Structure 1
Amino acid sequence: MKFGGAAAASTLMRIVVSYHHIFIFQMENRINALDGFRFLAISLVAVFHYYSRFTLPQSPVNYYPYGSSFSNVFSANAYLGVHFFFIISGFVIYFSILRSSHLKDFFLRRFIRLFPPLLLASVITYVFVALADPQRAFPFHVSALSFLPSLTFTDTLFWQPLFKGHKIALIDGAYWSLLVEVKFYLLIALIYFLLPKEKFLRNWTSLMAVLLVVHTLAEYVHFPMAVAIRKAMDVFFFYNYIAFFSAGICFYDFYIHKKWRLEYLVTAMIAGITLWSLGWAGMTFMAVFLVLFAMLVNGSSLLGFFALPIVRRIGVISYTLYLLHQYIGLILINAVCKWLPVAALWPVVPVFVYALLIGVTELIYRYYEEPVRKLMTNYYFPKRAPMPMVEKQAA
């Protein structure tokens, strides 16, 4: 029995150690805790959209059955989950681009990742809004032409002059972040593939330094082109968000090299200026995000929650969940509250709706998103069969 107990304890220890290494620190195709971070990011965004986004003061009209009763400092600032996504994206895309052989390879893989779920989610959202809200109680109805900006990752301002008289907007307002993401892909790819790859971090930091100087001059020194320069920086360099992507890049660089670099200071300066504009609540949120990443890259053992299978799974499907949750979720919340006469239970209805959408998204991911991605990946990136070993024939 003693031997059996010792063997069991030894086995348990090996399992714990394996769990620690596999789920927290090991980089295969992804760092597993990052999926847990995605869970946190999408859940925060859902809190914002379900409790604060569509009531005063965020919206001039209330669209919640419970009004602003449950809107508070936390829910009002939970939109920063999108910014957390941007940090995660900077980390992951830097990892991804280092393993891309050329520009076409990188963009094709990004297209395979982004477009199929976006196409289906756009169709589902458009049809759902039309059928579930025939009286147009919600301002979510748009022209079918709205598929153009939504599916091409372009600004609606480009399309509106071309189709006057039509309400052209994004199929779901949450899609705005995809345009920022694609701009980041373009920027990082151009710097990485068109300039010396081995000096990428230096080149990226140089760009950050130029943006910092130009933005500071345009912001605080009054001259004729200042306003135009600020607008150009927002359009082409997504200046209000670039610090978060850059932070992700720096975190990944530290993760693989395990040493601090002088280049990080420029990102820290831009991040500091950006965070200052968020107010104390926003800065608190972002401080938590940055601490979580610092813990990740330093191998902290306190991130076990983010490695839990259910948490990671929701993180894996978070992209499609993000695409579906806002407009569909709000209409469902109102419908469920109408069926539920007990107003005291209304605060938990968003939780129920969120869980329902997680289930739907899991089915979409399992039976559509994952098979389509594998099919497209195998088509565009076929695996080469290994060359057979040929034994030398004796003369």
Structure 2
Amino acid sequence: MKNRFLELDCLRGVAALLVVFFHVFGDTLSIFRVGITGVDLFFIISGFVIFLSISNVSKGREFVINRVSRLYPTYWTCVTITFTLMCIGDITHKHSIHIKTYLANMTMFQYYLGKPDLDGPYWTMIIEMIFYIFILILFKTKLLKRVIEIGVGVNVLLIANFFMSLKGIPFLNTHYLPMLNFFPLFIAGIVFYKIYYDQKSFLNNYLILIICFLTQIALYNLTRSAGHVSHITYIIMLVIYFTLFILFVNQKLKLIIYKPILFLGKISFPIYLIHQYLLLSMIIPFLIKYCEMNYYVSASIGIVLVILIASLIHRYIEVPVGHKLKSFQKKIFYLQ
């Protein structure tokens, strides 16, 4: 079974660029505000990849080890870099951060620890972590084979809650489980996985995709996109993302495989984590103030520097440290 999809790497690269452009240019060029929806594309990708990952393990601890070794070394590095920069070199002097906030952020569970995200992009990490826990619970309870039925059931509840909220009497408070605001996207990713590997339930799977699509549209006001793009724009972006995945699962997305985008996809995680504070509070203000460059030149240079830094993190932290951590954990849990 393939465990690496070049098309998905390219889509990751596109999603990362969308988010970067949103943060850097969204306030000055309205067209880049659609970049906020890049996280929606990330969530669909995650649904596909995580189900692929859980399908290739025999024990729950293997799944946990895979996720920890994949995410935490890069995440810890980026959080530490950002925290250090906040402490010693904040040019804009807008940030005052406490060590407790840093330590809480290092867990990825700062949302439940009552601490703010150290940097803007970190808010999605708790969304991902809750989804991983959800998948792990299904795996441990032997309900993973029912994930689609369970997913449809939750979608129905979310739709019902939407209509009840229109009457002012919602019965679900997604504040306690923020992953629910993007749950249809994760399930859509899993459905795309099913379509890719099993064409037998072709029609049923596409009907479920429609349910996921409509449910996510209904959840618009609970997403971060609501404050930046219109409902219609959000729908258009979802149509684009779902269409890209339909092309992918039908082997029609090979044309997107382009070396520069593929490279960005491979370093998309560190790009996503490191870019916002580094660009908006450090590099761009520095170039404007001390090099007398205009905003767009400063931003362009800054993006190139962020890509360079992210590539270094990928090469010297994400890949080697991730592999070593994975090997170490396997030894501890007697998996080797």
The two structures have a TM-score, normalised by structure 2, of 0.87
Counterpart residue type for residue 275 of structure 2: H
Q: 1:194 aligns with which of 136, 141, 164?
A: 141
- Indicate whether 1:333 and 2:274 are aligned: no
Q: Cα distance, 1:203 vs. partner?
A: 3.3
For residue 151 of structure 1, what is the aligned residue in structure 2? 106
Q: 1:288 aligns with which of 231, 235, 240?
A: 240
Q: 1:110 aligns with which of 67, 82, 86?
A: 67
Q: Cα distance, 1:35 vs. partner?
A: 0.5
Deviations 1:104-133 (A, max 9, x none): 211121111111111111110011122222
How many correspondences in the alignment? 322
1:91 aligns to what SS in structure 2? helix
Aligned partners of 1:211 and 1:191: how far apart in 2?
19
For residue 127 of structure 1, what is the aligned residue in structure 2? 84
- Indicate whether 1:274 and 2:226 are aligned: no
For residue 257 of structure 2, what is the aligned residue in structure 1? 307
Deviations 1:350-394 (A, max 9, x none): 222111111111112111221111112223336999xxxxxxxxx
Q: Cα distance, 1:33 vs. partner?
A: 0.9
* Mapped contact 2:86–2:97 kept (Cα < 8 A): no
1:238 aligns to what SS in structure 2? helix
Q: 1:318 to 1:124 in 2, by over 3 A?
A: same
1:290 aligns to what SS in structure 2? helix
1:208 aligns to what SS in structure 2? helix
Q: 1:273 to 1:207 in 2, by over 3 A?
A: closer
**Structure 2 gap segments, 5+ residues each:** 221-229
Aligned partners of 2:326 and 2:69: how far apart in 1?
7
- Indicate whether 1:178 and 2:122 are aligned: no
Q: Cα distance, 1:234 vs. partner?
A: 4.0
Q: 1:319 to 1:100 in 2, by over 3 A?
A: same
Counterpart residue type for residue 51 of structure 2: Y
For residue 71 of structure 1, what is the aligned residue in structure 2? 29
Counterpart residue type for residue 71 of structure 1: L
Q: 1:267 to 1:28 in 2, by over 3 A?
A: closer
Aligned partners of 2:51 and 2:296: how far apart in 1?
40
Aligned partners of 1:334 and 1:359: how far apart in 2?
19
For residue 219 of structure 1, what is the aligned residue in structure 2? 165
* Mapped contact 1:112–1:373 kept (Cα < 8 A): yes
Q: Cα distance, 1:286 vs. partner?
A: 1.8
* Mapped contact 2:159–2:215 kept (Cα < 8 A): no
For residue 245 of structure 1, what is the aligned residue in structure 2? 186
- Indicate whether 1:142 and 2:97 are aligned: yes
Q: Cα distance, 1:32 vs. partner?
A: 1.0
For residue 325 of structure 2, what is the aligned residue in structure 1? 376
Deviations 1:193-248 (A, max 9, x none): 313443333333333334433x245323444xx3xx332x3422622211111111
Question: Sequence identity, in percent?
Answer: 25
Q: 1:297 aligns with which of 236, 249, 266?
A: 249
1:50 aligns to what SS in structure 2? helix
Counterpart residue type for residue 207 of structure 1: V
Deviations 1:140-182 (A, max 9, x none): 33211112331222244x444xxxxxxx422212100000000
* Mapped contact 1:91–1:248 kept (Cα < 8 A): yes
Aligned partners of 1:339 and 1:124: how far apart in 2?
22
- Indicate whether 1:348 and 2:297 are aligned: yes
Deviations 1:31-66 (A, max 9, x none): 1110000000000000111012xx5xxxxxxxxxxx
2:117 aligns to what SS in structure 1? coil
* Mapped contact 1:329–1:354 kept (Cα < 8 A): yes
Q: 1:324 aligns with which of 254, 266, 274?
A: 274
Q: Cα distance, 1:255 vs. partner?
A: 0.6
Q: 1:352 to 1:85 in 2, by over 3 A?
A: same
For residue 176 of structure 2, what is the aligned residue in structure 1? 235
Deviations 1:287-330 (A, max 9, x none): 11111111111111x542x3222221211111111110000111
* Mapped contact 2:128–2:179 kept (Cα < 8 A): no
For residue 63 of structure 1, what is the aligned residue in structure 2? none
* Mapped contact 2:11–2:265 kept (Cα < 8 A): yes
**Structure 1 gap segments, 5+ residues each:** 1-26, 56-69, 161-167, 386-395
For residue 65 of structure 1, what is the aligned residue in structure 2? none
The two structures have a TM-score, normalised by structure 1, of 0.75
Counterpart residue type for residue 246 of structure 1: I
Q: 1:222 to 1:284 in 2, by over 3 A?
A: closer
* Mapped contact 1:117–1:369 kept (Cα < 8 A): yes
